[in-house]
Amino acid sequence: MGDSSSRDRKVRGRKIRSDRSKKKRRKAKKMAKKERASNGTSGGSGSSGGSDGSPLSSPEEIAPDPFIETDAVASVRDRITGWLEADQPVHLIGPTGCGKTALALSAAAKRGRPVVWINGDEAVGTAELVGTHSGGERYEERDQFVSGVSKTTEVVRERWVDNPLSVAVKEGATLVYNEFSRSDPTAHNVLLSVLEEGVLERPGKHGEDRTIDVHPEFRLLVTSNDVEYAGVHEQQDALLDRFVGVNVDYYDAETEREIVAAHVDVPEETIEQVVDAIRALRDELDVVVGTRAAITAAEGLSVFAEDGAEEFDDELLVDVFTDVLAPKIAGEGDGIDELRDAISDAL
């Protein structure tokens, strides 16, 4: 990168070097969450729950950390919370790696209500959303109705377990449904009655409590990649018509620098060089180059740099960015050589 003008610019706004102690606290918090999950305290398949095993999480538990709140980020987040306050389900749409999930979690936490989280994928069906029978309870009743003669009756009682959607509508929680469009559209038929009639039907459950009246504080917030992404299902119009759509795109350069700085403890010059490179590659390459790629590249440079260098030669930059972006063209034969050449040209 021969032009040094980008490295001579001063970053506007607050200083973007992060305090190392804050990063250590965030790392400890993440490790604690992982430890709780490994001990079986996270709730439900594909969901993140509170410490008691419930799918419900408190706003404090679910809030993303770190979360960078520049004017650009706050503007989008406030639109989301505004629509939720207006009792409208919100659909966040945008390219991978642009920060949709963090925005969704921040908006959900901002409401101050409990949060239920679920990740969409091909395995998610109606039962994974609503609930299902989970085994049964067997016990015996003994009745000695004649002296010396007893009658034993075995009773089997089915046990029903509510899954994230049922819990959220009952408790008035915010349901954050990440990667919503990766699930089969037929799984989402149950959402129509929730959004239109305020009633959730639980298929497979019998009796008077087959249906649940939706709590007035229940809100739905889903995220999706653009429809051209692999593994994304086109959802039914009848459901999408009930959402408001908020488009999320990559942020401005200053915000991207602050995001990278919050995640990686490297010099300011390194962050600016990485973000400038990412934005150049985003314009030139045919693969998606998200802010997440900038964070990964900065982490790589912090390891591969010689003697704590703050700036890097073109060859190291090309190596690092090729490694970071190579998974996006896996299985394309000679594609890796073409990718490396394109990265070299762009930088």
Same domain, 142 and 280: no
Same domain, 154 and 229: no
In a domain, 185, yes or no: yes
Mean pLDDT throughout 334-338? 81
Burial group, residue 67, by CB count within 10 angstroms (0-12, 13-18, 19+): middle
Residue 4's pLDDT band (boundaries 50, 70, 90)?
very low
Lowest model confidence (mean pLDDT) among 43-57, 202-216, 333-347: 43-57
Task: Give the model confidence (pLDDT) of 79-98 as tens digits.
Answer: 999 999 999 999 999 988 88
Confidence at residue 314, expressed as pLDDT on a 0 to 100 scale: 80
Which of 103-107, 209-213, 231-235, 283-287 reaches the highest mean pLDDT? 103-107
Task: Give the model confidence (pLDDT) of 172-215 as tens digits.
Answer: 999 999 998 888 888 899 999 999 999 998 877 776 778 899 99
Cα gap 199→156, rounded to integer Å = 29
Cα gap 84→270, rounded to integer Å = 38
Structure tokens that stand for 89 in this block: 């389900």
Same domain, 110 and 187: yes
Q: What DSSP assignment string belongs to 110-178?
A: HTTS-EEEEE--TT--HHHHHEEEEEEEEEEEEEEEETTEEEEEEEEEEEEEE-HHHHHHHHT-EEEEE
In a domain, 238, yes or no: yes
Residue 153's pLDDT band (boundaries 50, 70, 90)?
low
Same domain, 216 and 293: no
Torsional class of 227: left (φ above 0), alpha (ψ -120 to 50), beta (otherwise): alpha
In a domain, 24, yes or no: no
Helix (H/G/I), strand (E/B), else coil: 216: coil
- The residue among 247, 273, 294 that closes a domain is 247
Confidence at residue 53, expressed as pLDDT on a 0 to 100 scale: 63
Same domain, 190 and 339: no
Domain with 146, as residue range(s), is 133-160
Instruction: Report the number of secondary-structure helices (H) and strands (E) in the chain.
Output: 14, 11
Q: Compute the Cα dihedral for 42, 48, 54, 58 and give only its sign.
A: positive
Which of 80-84, 120-124, 313-317 reaches the highest mean pLDDT? 80-84
Same domain, 301 and 234: no
The neighbour count for residue 190, using CB atoms within 10 Å, is 17
Closest among 7, 2, 3, 5 to 267, alpha carbons compared = 7
Confidence at residue 35, expressed as pLDDT on a 0 to 100 scale: 46
In a domain, 49, yes or no: yes
- The residue among 160, 178, 198 that closes a domain is 160
Q: Please provide the average confidence, as pLDDT, over all residues in the chain.
A: 79
- The residue among 213, 247, 281 that closes a domain is 247
Residue 229's pLDDT band (boundaries 50, 70, 90)?
low
* Residue 224, C-beta contacts closer than 8 angstroms, at least 6 positions apart: 91, 92, 93, 179, 180, 181, 232
Same domain, 98 and 206: yes
More confident residue, 302 or 155: 302
Same domain, 199 and 286: no
Please give the tally of structural domains in the chain.
3
Cα gap 342→318, rounded to integer Å = 10
* Residue 125, C-beta contacts closer than 8 angstroms, at least 6 positions apart: 184, 186, 187
Distance from chain centroid for Cα 340: 30
Same domain, 243 and 125: yes
What ranges in 235-290 are assigned the alpha helix state H? 237-240, 253-263, 268-284
Same domain, 223 and 314: no
In a domain, 254, yes or no: no
Same domain, 139 and 187: no
Rounded to whole angstroms, what are the CA distances from 7 to 261, 268, 290, 333?
16, 10, 21, 36
Same domain, 113 and 141: no
Residue 243's pLDDT band (boundaries 50, 70, 90)?
very high
Lowest model confidence (mean pLDDT) among 8-17, 177-186, 287-296: 8-17
